[in-house]
Structure 1
Amino acid sequence: MGDEDIEVLVETELPEEDEHEHTKAEELEIDIVHSFEMRLKGSMQVSKKVLDKLGLEKYIPLIDKHKIGIEALMHLGHGGLEGMGIKNAVDRATIMAAGEAGFIIADPPKIDGKPVEVRVKVGFARLARINTVNLTCDIKLFIDLYWNDPNMVGVDPENVPNYVWRPNAYIYNSIDGTGTNGGKVNEHQVSLMDTETGLMLYPLEVEVTISNDMDLRKFPFDSDAVDIIILQSEDGDAEDWVLRQHENVESSVQFFYNVFETPEWDVNGFSLDFFESMGGNGVMYTHCVLSIHIRRRPLFYIWKLVLPLFLTTAFAFGSFFFDVNELEARSNTAATTLLTTVALIYVLSNELPKTNYQTLIDWFLVFCLVVQLLVWIISNLLTTDLVANTERAQDVDSRYAFVMAGIFTFGTLALFLPKLVKWAMSNKFSRPAYPLKGRKGNELEYYTFEANKNVWY
């Protein structure tokens, strides 16, 4: 039987019987189940949103009328459901199959009508491949969601029902997909952590690649905030439950390996921002933005890019060592150096960010090319072919060589030396220089990473 045949079968309603009052036997069956349910600590109301997704929203008034909880719904069977007034056999089968599969869950355990507060803890197993070119980052983390469920007070932790309510969330800025199936997500069982308070835990294991926008104007002396956006799934909204920070904030974000040995970056600290905002469908959703604050280690680019470009440009001044009447030698030296620099830039382009603005490295590349071009022009102009007085040409040639070499050396040092000294002398764990503002404009707290506190290895 194909998918279309199944859809037709599901959508086809069996002839309904005439409306009539329940027989005493049917009413007794429902009453017995009600009594049984009331004695259960884990009794919970059926989620109306789940019934709506199953296309069974027409039975919500019946469930409200009989105050049927999930525990009772699972015990009624076909006879009890028919006695409630659900005459369609396909609908009864859908409800029972959904219940057995765990698709029917309880409503959020609100207290006094307030949204359930879900506290967040995050543990990193990997934060790697922070890609400056593609603006991405690979992460593997565990998201622990905690909340209190009054319905679970006194329940045996070994017998937590599979229909207990749990919050669903996903990584919004995952480029592997925006749903809970984006990347690799393992959902574990809901656990009862404290029977006296009904403290619940729902852990998610997430392995994804996220988009990571960077401000690279100071590259390679830049800092970055790797934002991990945890967003409420669309099967809930901010009226049902909200994400909030854990009581022990400083240890609510942890690394389970020596993150201080990340090759290109210093991983310094984190900040958290919790807020609610309206989605495109007009529904308010809750967000948690976890920002991991990192600082680049620039020495790779100093040794592999800045120094080779500096030496290549310095070799261009070799054209001034030739006599002013040796036009071919002077021209070839300057031109060869210019072509070598272009080839070097082409080879290194895979390591450079592709931006629509100039980074610090970009300005240095332009500086080197301009100096080399000027060396080529001047070394060709100051020849005996263009200047009649050879002695005067030689004197002017020496002055230009000295002045231009000084400008190039001073310009290179001015671009990089102060920033290199500042990087070496600064405390990498200090609060970032860029502003830490929340979505609502509030100032965010900054927490540092420390060994044996929130970094374990």
Structure 2
Amino acid sequence: MLKSKRVIKFFVCWWLAVCVCFVVSFAFEGKAQEGGKTEVISQVPKVENVGGKNRQNEKASRSEERVNKGGEKDEDLTTLPPNGGKPVEVSVGVHITNFAAIDEAKENYEVVGYLKAAWKDAHLAFDAKNERQKYRFHDLEKVWHPFLEFVNKAGENNVDNALIVADPDGMVSFSEGFNIKLSSDFDFKRFPFDRQKLKIAIESFRYDETEVVFIAKPKNSGLSKDNFVSLSEWKIENFTQKVVNNKLVTEENPVSRFVGELDIVRNYQFYVGKVFIPMFLIVVISGACFWIDIEYFEALTAIGLTNLLTAIAFSLSIAGSLPKVSYLTFIDGFITISYVFIFLTIIEIVWAHYFSQKGDKEVAESSHRKGRWAFPAGFILGNLFLGLFLFMPS
């Protein structure tokens, strides 16, 4: 009876040690992710630094040009619109027509849509009655515009069309069709039950906030309702927008920045049916070994080893469908816990057989019976701890 208690304590200690190891590892992993997390729209310093230098140089040259020309009246249409010394207010919006692709390994995505902006320019006002025109079309290079660019772009921006239209009162509307890859900050710790916020960051390449200030207008932004907008694996929930001030190292004044956030949720049904259920069944088969008498040692050993090799082969076959990240995701933790408990089943079978061969059959049978409830309880608790640490709010 004493030996039986020692064996039970041994296995309880092992299972507790495994659970504690997973809890500690994921706790430190979460802290590391929180500590190292940076906003993605500041991941392109080279582009911003070059833009900052250009803004400073061009701002100085524009001031000198005004002095030489003797004021704003003699300036051409490409100069800043007169606004009484205040910065020009530019409303910015993004209308998404297609969420084309997402690359989880490179942490970027491809999106198609329209970039829209509007501002007031007295230079372009005209008399609609005399000229018999409701609006005027202008060449982009011949009139002033805020030089909008995507800060977090990960590839070349393919511009389909660009248009500038001025109303009689000088209200200017700008529209540009784009097809671009953008980088974003992905967090796959909860994969495949994760949701992502894909960011679209837009700044003026040429002007800081003393000259241009962005204004977010919801009516200028939105999502197309066409069926082809979403990807099969992702569902678009919402698109929000805001304007923030971004302070660059190379500039004295911050830059106005438009930030659009595309909220997407992964459709997890594929992974439940193709990964979780098959792996769970393999674990259940291993747990069934505790219901077979320890006398059938060869059969129990064969079942345990076969399950372990099957689990390894299965995980290798699905590796291409998992995100290639340096930290553990929920699905990685689930597969690892399955490995551990399949392996512990084999250890328990060998341990019970050892006691049986020594003639202490009572201890062997007792530990084997305890595994009937200890195995599923430990497996469930291990995954509960995993889920708690990954799904609890930061």
Q: State the TM-score, normalizing by the size of structure 1.
A: 0.63
Structure 2 unpaired stretches of 5+ = 1-54, 128-132
How far off is 1:311 after superposition? 1.1
2:92 corresponds in structure 1 to 120
Do the aligned residues in 1 keep the contact of 2:99 with 2:230 (CA within 8 Å)? Answer: no
1:383 is paired with a residue of what secondary structure? helix
1:52–1:415 CA distance, 2 compared to 1 (3 A): closer
1:57–1:223 CA distance, 2 compared to 1 (3 A): closer
How far off is 1:107 after superposition? 1.1
Q: Does 1:373 align with 2:343?
A: yes
Do the aligned residues in 2 keep the contact of 1:123 with 1:256 (CA within 8 Å)? Answer: no
Which of 188, 196, 204 is equivalent to 2:162?
Answer: 188
2:151 corresponds in structure 1 to 172
How far off is 1:330 after superposition? 2.3
1:312 corresponds in structure 2 to 282
What amino acid is the match of 1:378? E
How far off is 1:393 after superposition? 2.5
1:383 corresponds in structure 2 to 353
Distance (whole Å) between structure 1 residues aligned to residue 73 and residue 308 of structure 2: 83
1:64 corresponds in structure 2 to 70
Do the aligned residues in 1 keep the contact of 2:353 with 2:364 (CA within 8 Å)? Answer: yes
Distance (whole Å) between structure 2 residues aligned to residue 131 and residue 110 of structure 1: 44
- Which structure has more RCO (C-alpha within 8 Å, separation ≥ 6)? 2
1:388–1:183 CA distance, 2 compared to 1 (3 A): farther
Distance (whole Å) between structure 1 residues aligned to residue 179 and residue 161 of structure 2: 12
Do the aligned residues in 1 keep the contact of 2:153 with 2:183 (CA within 8 Å)? Answer: yes
How far off is 1:145 after superposition? 0.8
Distance (whole Å) between structure 2 residues aligned to residue 358 and residue 344 of structure 1: 18
How far off is 1:434 after superposition? 7.5
Distance (whole Å) between structure 1 residues aligned to residue 92 and residue 66 of structure 2: 32
How far off is 1:250 after superposition? 5.1
1:257 corresponds in structure 2 to 226
Q: 1:112-135 CA distances to partner (integer Å, 9 max, x unpaired)?
A: 111111112221121133344432
Distance (whole Å) between structure 1 residues aligned to residue 209 and residue 56 of structure 2: 17
Distance (whole Å) between structure 2 residues aligned to residue 343 and residue 253 of structure 1: 45
Percent sequence identity over matched residues? Answer: 22
Q: How many residues align?
A: 330
1:377-416, aligned counterparts within 5 Å?
377-383=347-353, 386-390=357-361, 392-408=363-379
Distance (whole Å) between structure 2 residues aligned to residue 172 and residue 349 of structure 1: 33
Do the aligned residues in 2 keep the contact of 1:216 with 1:222 (CA within 8 Å)? Answer: yes
1:138 corresponds in structure 2 to 110
Structure 1 unpaired stretches of 5+ = 1-48, 71-104, 177-181, 423-432, 436-457
Do the aligned residues in 2 keep the contact of 1:118 with 1:147 (CA within 8 Å)? Answer: yes
1:236 corresponds in structure 2 to 207
What amino acid is the match of 1:114? K
What amino acid is the match of 1:393? A
Distance (whole Å) between structure 2 residues aligned to residue 329 and residue 110 of structure 1: 88
Do the aligned residues in 2 keep the contact of 1:135 with 1:211 (CA within 8 Å)? Answer: yes
Q: 1:249-307 CA distances to partner (integer Å, 9 max, x unpaired)?
A: 25632325237864223322222221222223215321000011222222122111111
How far off is 1:391 after superposition? 5.4
2:3 corresponds in structure 1 to none
How far off is 1:414 after superposition? 8.5
Do the aligned residues in 2 keep the contact of 1:183 with 1:208 (CA within 8 Å)? Answer: yes
What amino acid is the match of 1:64? G
1:56–1:69 CA distance, 2 compared to 1 (3 A): closer
Q: 1:133-171 CA distances to partner (integer Å, 9 max, x unpaired)?
A: 432211011011111111222255346465211121111
Task: Let me know the Cα RMSD of the aligned residues.
Answer: 3.6
Distance (whole Å) between structure 1 residues aligned to residue 321 and residue 346 of structure 2: 28
1:269–1:236 CA distance, 2 compared to 1 (3 A): same
More helix by percentage: 2
2:152 is paired with a residue of what secondary structure? coil
Do the aligned residues in 2 keep the contact of 1:184 with 1:207 (CA within 8 Å)? Answer: yes
What amino acid is the match of 1:288? F
